[in-house]
Amino acid sequence: MPFTNGSHYNNPEIDTLFAQAAQQTDENARKQVFSQIQRILERDLPDINLVSPQYLTVYSRAVHNHTTSPDGLSASFADVWLKR
């Protein structure tokens, strides 16, 4: 599942700021809250990416509706069909 808290980062201040951002309707105010979040995350550095995976996909003219979302190979294959 993408966007999980794999590092188990826990910061009540960040939680409060995310809640504020979710309720903020003013775009500039929301931007300021997210800037604050980024500064804290920069300082705490809860997750360091040591590996940059190379995402691959397949291609065939016979395969349709495959990898049509940003999820790539993690996406659902529910709409994939094969032209024969």
Asked whether residue 54 is domain-assigned, the answer is yes
35 and 56 both lie in a single domain = no
Residue 2 above 70 pLDDT?
Answer: no
Task: Look over the chain and give the mean of its residue pLDDT values, rounded to a whole number.
Answer: 87
| Count of domains forming the chain | 2
Residue range of the domain that includes 24: 12-44
38 and 53 both lie in a single domain = no
78 and 55 both lie in a single domain = yes
pLDDT tens, position by position, 13-46: 999 999 999 999 999 999 999 999 999 999 999 8
38 and 59 both lie in a single domain = no
Return the ∠ at Cα 79 (arms to 78 and 84), rounded to 5°: 115
63 and 36 both lie in a single domain = no
Asked whether residue 78 is domain-assigned, the answer is yes
Residue 3 above 70 pLDDT?
Answer: no
